[in-house]
Structures are given as structure tokens and as C-alpha cells.
Structure 1
């Protein structure tokens, strides 16, 4: 039987030399692989109170939407700066290759709501940390952070756990 990691393609030297890019589009394109990933991402949260799923741009939208649907809860996108039409709050963060800003609508999460944060990959944890900070600024409480892939050598899991976050990933790959 195939595991989630069997559906993930590795592209060498993308986006630049020395990087082993873990491509989840092959996982998403396979109906069985996608179902396995969504089901396994849901499993740790069975019976927990979750009010909304927050997905990080962009692949977190694909997973987050499917997970929110299965949990029968709302979905909130955290987007790159300038992509949301309403009033927003923003958070700057550092990426592996530079800096960026993400935003969320300022009315997307109510104080006290229980939030599951979702993305495809956990590398340095910068994007996830920015998302967590946005949720917390709106008064939401992060129940957990869920990822398909963890790259433990880049320290993201340790970074989020140091913030007191519960972190789940379906698989891990060594190196970049």
C-alpha cells in the first residue's frame, strides 16, 4: 500500500541549485493520494473542537478547503500582501530566500475561535509563524498546525513547538 510520501515528487535543483523541491502537485493530482492525505491530516483532530481551518497561501488553500469541508467548519485564507479585497491585518516574515508579508481579513476570525492551521510543507516555519501571529492578533486560538511534509533539518517544527504549538506532519524528508 502506498504512503503519502510515495505520491510526492522530488525535483532536484529547484528553485535553485542545491535545493531538493518536494512537489505535492503529484499528490494532489492523484485521487487516492489526495484522499489519503486529507484523511490522515484529519485523523488527529477527530472529536476536537475546531471552529475554522486557516490555510496558508497557496497550497494550504487546497488542503485547508478539503479539511474544512470534512470538518463542516469555515475556511479562512491567509494570503500574500495585496490579494484580499477587504480590510486586513498583515505580518512580515523571513523566507528561505528573502522576505514577504501575509494578510488576513480583519473580521475573518472571532475572539475565542479554535483554529487549525494547514499548509503543505513546513520548512523554516516563517510562513506558519506569521499565520499563527495573525490568528492570535484576531483573538483566535491555534489548536494545532498540520502539514503534509516536514523538513526537520530546516528547524520549522522546533520553531513552532518553541511557540507552544502542537505540530503534525504526515511525512518528513531529510535535507533541504
Structure 2
């Protein structure tokens, strides 16, 4: 059995964010062969600026982000939606992970996105933004992983059906074979 590491990018900086809590629930429910590593410190990563992204002097927080994602086998964004799009912190993380162009930390990594919002659509627009941006950055987007869940009428942290869909999404991401999918 192969061990898989998933780097999780949480699109909310709020300490008691439901999406942060959801990432922690998924980590706690991960199968034995899966490590879910929530990447902390996204709020410390400066907005992407090519002037800061030099071979000799990259900000430590950006270097740490790239290193953590580079070491992971898969990447999962767990994010809410802000004003009909992905949060700036997630967009910024993807920007840093997309560089250097063609060789960034996301290149070739299976990528999925899940999340909850207190809206009827559950964050679909933000999730579509994240999928598009990660795909452009070179990630292998696993479409069957996208779960956009409304939190209006259900406790997303305890509802068995919601948790089953999210846990299944993690399993699909883990089982994704990029080479087979390309064939």
C-alpha cells in the first residue's frame, strides 16, 4: 500500500472558519495510507510580485509554501467563496505555486477543491476559479473531487451524507492516477 500526502490550502484565514474546521475533520478521518497536511501561514505570504520572486531572495513564507506543496503527492483546496470568487489568499497561494513558470510546485500534481459556504450554491464559483487557476498553473485537476456544499440547512461538520461525499472526494483524489488519466 502506497502512502499519499495531501497538502491542504484553506481559503479562509479566520481561525474558526468552517472550511478550516472541515479540513481538520477530513484530516481526522483520513485513511491509514493518507496524511493530510494543512498548510498554515498563507496569510503571511506576500502578494505575488515578480520583484520578490528572485532565485537569491524569495520571502521565507513563500519558500515554505512551495516546499510543503512540492513534497506533497496531491493538493486539495478547502475554500469558501467571497463575492462570487475564490478568496485572495487562495489565489495568491496558487500564484506563488505557479512559479517558476512550467516548473512550479503545482505542476503535475493532482488537484481538487471542496468547501462550504452559507449560500445556496455552496461556493461553486470560487471552486470553478480555483480549478481554472490551478489547471493553468499546471496542476492535474481531478474534476470528480469538486464538492460545493451549502451550509444553509445542514451542519456540514456532522451531517453523515455531507461527510461521506467529502471523504469520498478525498479518496478519489488519492486514487487518481495522472498517467492513466492522460492515456
TM-score (norm 2): 0.44
Higher strand share: 1
Higher helix share: 2
Using CA pairs below 8 Å that are at least 6 residues apart, which structure has the higher relative contact order? 2
TM-score (norm 1): 0.45
